[in-house]
Structure 1
Amino acid sequence: MKLETLKDLYIHELKDLYSAEKQIIKALPKMVKAATNKQLAAGFEEHFEQTKEHVARLEKILASHNESTRGPKCEGMEGLIKEGEEMIEEDAEEEVRDAGLIAAAQRVEHYEMAGYGCARTYAELLEDRDGAQLLQTTLTEASGRPGAISIPVPRKL
């Protein structure tokens, strides 16, 4: 897809976010299983449910522009998820692994917030009020989540 207009860029960003969210949906069950802290596992489960809603919103916005969800794989998210998977495989104390999982999840959230912020701005500039509102809803959820999955990690001397 050649990017010639702001709308082209907007659609490209929506498809990139869609790819990112689908990758997150595949990764989160592994993070739930790897988390040893119950609060952390519950936070990942909540994130999983919210991510399904994010996907539905993106599908709705793309459909309103007569666009499919098909597009290139989001390589940025692929790299972040790979780092999270590497943390799962680390030979680490449970609390240390949980702290690493939190860091991986926060990186993912910040990546999402950047993408959703840009997409919302494009929607506003293109006067796609419904799209902007849906994107803002997701952005609000994502910006509130990083602290919600933080847990105290005991210091080992």
Structure 2
Amino acid sequence: MESLKDVYIHQLQDLLSANRQAVKATRELADAATADPLTHALERGVAGIEDGAAKLEKLLQPHAAAVGGAQCKGMEGLVREARSHALREDFAVDAVRDAVIITQYQRMAHYAIAGYGCAAAFASQLGLTEDVDVLRAMLDAAYSGDKTMSQIAEENINQHAA
């Protein structure tokens, strides 16, 4: 990598890979969730992640950058953890599984938040104002999804899990 633009493009590719992995895992988490508000929030999360992947592909187009290939190792680890802890474990109480599902989803969301924030900062420095707007909107959507999960946990799931 020779420039901030190279780093920016790599960050977009990494985020695209992360989104592609996260959408599959989030579908699995939605299928395993038992509380209706959680299931619906995860389904909205799937739609949001898919939308984010499409936006990342569009951001990469003007740079003639590949939209496939590299595997985001960070999200790979988070997905592996989500499957291990939320899907493969045995739970005596459904609400406990739901609490773990929220935890694992939020870990993936926080990874996206960090990535979108960094990419937006790079785009800003590079003078890519349209990219900045798109990335900040994606960042806001990720924050919103995280906040929704916290509300579901605090208003319902954690009480039943306790």
Asked whether the two chains share a fold, i.e. TM above 0.5, the reply is yes
CA distances 1:79-103 after superposition (whole Å, capped 9, x unpaired): 1111110121111121111000000
Show the counterpart of 2:159: 154
Say if 1:126 and 1:71 are closer, same or farther in 2 by CA, change over 3 A: farther
Show the counterpart of 1:60: 58
RMSD (Å) for aligned C-alpha atoms: 1.3
CA distance in 2, matches of 1:156, 1:148: 18
Q: What is the identity, as a one-letter code, of the residue corresponding to 1:91?
A: D
Show the counterpart of 1:90: 89
1:17-56, aligned counterparts within 5 Å?
A: 17-56=15-54
1:125-140, aligned counterparts within 5 Å?
A: 125-140=125-140
CA distance in 2, matches of 1:101, 1:156: 12
CA distances 1:103-146 after superposition (whole Å, capped 9, x unpaired): 00111111100000000000000011111111111000001111
Quote the offset at 1:154 in angstroms: 2.6
Show the counterpart of 2:102: 102
Q: What is the identity, as a one-letter code, of the residue corresponding to 1:99?
A: A
**1:14 aligns to 2:12 (yes or no):** yes
CA distance in 2, matches of 1:89, 1:18: 26
Say if 1:19 and 1:156 are closer, same or farther in 2 by CA, change over 3 A: closer
Say if 1:50 and 1:25 are closer, same or farther in 2 by CA, change over 3 A: same
Please state which structure has a larger fraction of its residues in helix. Answer: 2
Structure 2: runs of 5+ lacking an equivalent: none
Kindly tell me the number of residue pairs found equivalent between the two proteins.
155
Quote the offset at 1:155 in angstroms: 5.1
CA distance in 2, matches of 1:124, 1:137: 14
CA distance in 1, matches of 2:148, 2:52: 18
Structure 1: runs of 5+ lacking an equivalent: none
CA distance in 2, matches of 1:56, 1:147: 23
Quote the offset at 1:71 in angstroms: 3.9
Partner SS state of residue 154, structure 1: helix
CA distance in 2, matches of 1:57, 1:74: 17
Q: Report the TM-score, using the length of structure 1 for normalisation.
A: 0.94
CA distance in 1, matches of 2:161, 2:71: 40
Q: Is the 8 A contact 1:16 1:71 kept in 2?
A: no
